[in-house]
Amino acid sequence: MPPPRFQALLLVALVAILTLALNGPPSTADLPTYESVAEAVKNPHLPDVGSLPAVPNPFGPAAHKPPNPAAQPNSTVASAYGKLAWLTDFKWRNPFSSSITLDENTALLPPLRERPPIYTYYNARKKQAKEVAEAENRLVLAWRRAWWAQGFRPVVLSRKEAEHHPHYQLFQRMELDSKVEVDMMRWLAWANMRGGILANSLALPMAEYENPMLAFLRRQEYPQLSRVEGLDSGIFFGDQAAVEGALKKLVNCPLLKNMTANKDKIAATAAKDGGAVVNLLAPADIAKDTNANGIAYYSTAVITSSYKTVADTLTNTTQAEGLDLLSSLVNSHLHLTFQELHPEGLAIAQPLPEHTTSLIEPSIDIARNLTQCPASPMPKSCPPNRPKCVPCSTKNSPKLQLFPEFVNTTKFFTVGTVPHPYTINSLHYTRNNLDVSFLRNNAKRDLWLNTLTQKSIGTGHSESYRLLQFKELVAANPAHSLWLTAERTSKDDLDWIFGFELPTAASKTREPTSPSEKSELIVFPRPAFPEPVKGIEVPDSIWTEKEKGRLNKARDAIKSKDRFTQGIVDAVEQWNLADTEAWKFARAYSARRRVERKKWEEEEGKYAGSEKKASGKGRWTDRFVL
């Protein structure tokens, strides 16, 4: 038994530890930009949040583990149209999957591309209104979606990761100014993930997929710790050795040797270009890359100077609204970038257009939303990295056209629908039921694929060749086309494919309007239905109704468990080997893309910026439903 003196001391220590543990780490302004906009604009003298020594919060999210090169699982998912299975293999460039998979129902897909991780740092404040927290999460979600669409694996770090770094205690004891501390924690968290790319959550990719900066970042070779000229602390990259090397120098930084004497000098580094860590290090320690226009960084300075409507709303009483306006602004710039990258607009491939109006309805819905001008608080504004953009307006909004075949140019973005051969035969020959003798006597083989590629590939090529070209198109990266199948693609999937939220609301008049009198947001009218393919008689509504019935019948037949119907579907598939393969490939490809994302979302569910955390997800879109 220790002497009573020590017992008392132990008790005091225990109470102190418990208090800290239960209250968690101190609040930290870790997304300085949102806060400081409000500060800069409205409340220039807001006091800094005081700094207490922090201890790990046992109730917070667990820390991310450093990355492990992910295995590429072969997989299956259940589907209404039977089991959907795929194998992943470098030998995927094979017209017929079954020659490798030895199974009619397993598609052979190209290997998943490796997604290099990109990190951002976000540590939610303890005392924060729910709406503000959700709005911040929606911004982080926008960041994750945009980088995901560009082929990265976006990871949101928090203080948890910093706590796992060996230097954590050291910096912890320094009693740093809160802004300096946040920056240090950001670097520690990043170093704990073994380096890579560290981005501010308001730094988003806004460029073509092949943009040199983005391509460079995807290569994952950054031996030298660097940042980018003009992007402040928007983005850093460096491998583990480079980042750890910088932290070692930081520990030995002369200013940090005498905290009391240098207090003001240290605090001042946070406001300088690049942030505290950069300015505590020597300029030679971090290289400056000049060649980068692919990343848009909405820094405090940029928001206050270029996006006044948003800055004005970021007051402490309307902060949630301000953050949502910022989300809309960022989203509109991402959407605008997509539109500018496809100067000819949207194309819908509609082979055999006579009786396929209902079949391509989902494509038209998506394409109309993609050509609509994005909702924005400042529709005439340009992204920070492309001040000379051409904003979208009702007069120059992108074109939307139907073509009876695939038009092979990347100036269009093409949306296509890949039908099952049973469906296309039933629609094209306007027959409610197909049978074997009809197929033999009347039906052309591989009608859909041959028609789709008749111009872009020309005559004299085999079905196998067309099939391979089609597979290349579906799996192309960068993708300039989207192929829908009977497998429904949900809106969530689309948002992650394109990297921005597709508009779900439109102005009710032919002019841009605001959803409500108070709202700063401006929504645009929905583009009209595209003109039908030239030379095609527009079917009466009676016909489209019949067509819909036929489409549903065909879907039922493909799903049917009835042996007789299954026999017919099999016969149709045998008669149309290439069309069947195209359908299987396209739907396996999109199912795998969806599984990859869902799995990632599940893993990230507990961290900031997940779809779950931004739970008002529907809500901010609801807010501009008219």
Ligand X SMILES: *[C@@H]1O[C@H](CO)[C@@H](O)[C@H](O)[C@H]1NC(C)=O
Provide the binding-site residues for ligand X, judged by CB under 6 A.
43, 71-74, 87, 258, 260-261, 316-317, 365-366, 369, 406, 408, 453, 456-457, 469-470, 473, 491, 494, 502-506, 526
Give the shortest CB-611-to-ligand X separation in angstroms: 16
Give the three-class secondary structure for 484. strand
CB contact at 8 A, 205 and 292: no
CB contact at 8 A, 109 and 592: yes
Nearer to ligand X, 147 or 470 (CB): 470
Nearer to ligand X, 173 or 440 (CB): 173
Nearer to ligand X, 46 or 389 (CB): 46
> What's 506-562 look like in SS3?
CECCCCCECCCCCCCCEECECCCCCCCCCCCCCCCHHHHHHHHHHHHHHHHHHHCCC
Tokens of 151: 């082929």
Nearer to ligand X, 71 or 542 (CB): 71
Nearer to ligand X, 461 or 553 (CB): 461
Nearer to ligand X, 369 or 450 (CB): 369
CB contact at 8 A, 402 and 530: yes
Give the shortest CB-368-to-ligand X separation in angstroms: 7
Nearer to ligand X, 84 or 505 (CB): 505
Give the shortest CB-510-to-ligand X separation in angstroms: 14
Burial of 478 (0-12, 13-18, 19+ CB in 10 A): exposed
User: What contacts 186, CB < 8 A, 6 or more positions away?
Assistant: 30, 121, 157, 162, 198, 277
Q: Can you tell me the distance from the alpha carbon of 420 to that of 161, in angstroms, rounded to the nearest whole number? A: 48
For residue 46, the 8-state DSSP code is P
Helices 577-604/491-498 angle, 10° precision: 80
- Catalogue the E-assigned strands of 191-248: 195-199, 203-205, 226-228, 235-239
Give the shortest CB-43-to-ligand X separation in angstroms: 5
Nearer to ligand X, 109 or 330 (CB): 109
Nearer to ligand X, 76 or 456 (CB): 456
Listing from the earlier edge strand, what are the strands of the sheet with 75-77? 75-77, 84-88, 106-109
Give the shortest CB-392-to-ligand X separation in angstroms: 15
* Residues paired with residue 416 on neighbouring β-strands, in sequence order: 349, 483
Burial of 563 (0-12, 13-18, 19+ CB in 10 A): exposed
Give the shortest CB-87-to-ligand X separation in angstroms: 5
Give the shortest CB-13-to-ligand X separation in angstroms: 27
Helices 240-251/178-192 angle, 10° precision: 140
Question: Using DSSP, how many helices (H) and how many strands (E) does the chain show?
Answer: 24, 15
Nearer to ligand X, 224 or 317 (CB): 317
Nearer to ligand X, 260 or 541 (CB): 260
Give the shortest CB-580-to-ligand X separation in angstroms: 18
Nearer to ligand X, 43 or 393 (CB): 43
Cβ of 204: how many Cβ atoms within 10 Å?
31
Give the shortest CB-505-to-ligand X separation in angstroms: 6
CB contact at 8 A, 530 and 360: no
- Does the CA dihedral 570-576-581-583 come out positive or negative? negative
Of 217, 251, 220, the closest CA to residue 231 belongs to 217
> Would you give the end-to-end CA distance of the chain in angstroms?
72
Tokens of 249: 């120098």
Tokens of 280: 């505590």
Give the shortest CB-561-to-ligand X separation in angstroms: 28
Give the shortest CB-16-to-ligand X separation in angstroms: 27
Give the shortest CB-242-to-ligand X separation in angstroms: 30
Nearer to ligand X, 6 or 529 (CB): 529
Give the shortest CB-516-to-ligand X separation in angstroms: 17
Q: Can you tell me the distance from the alpha carbon of 626 to that of 617, in angstroms, rounded to the nearest whole number? A: 17
Q: Can you tell me the distance from the alpha carbon of 184 to that of 152, in angstroms, rounded to the nearest whole number? A: 24
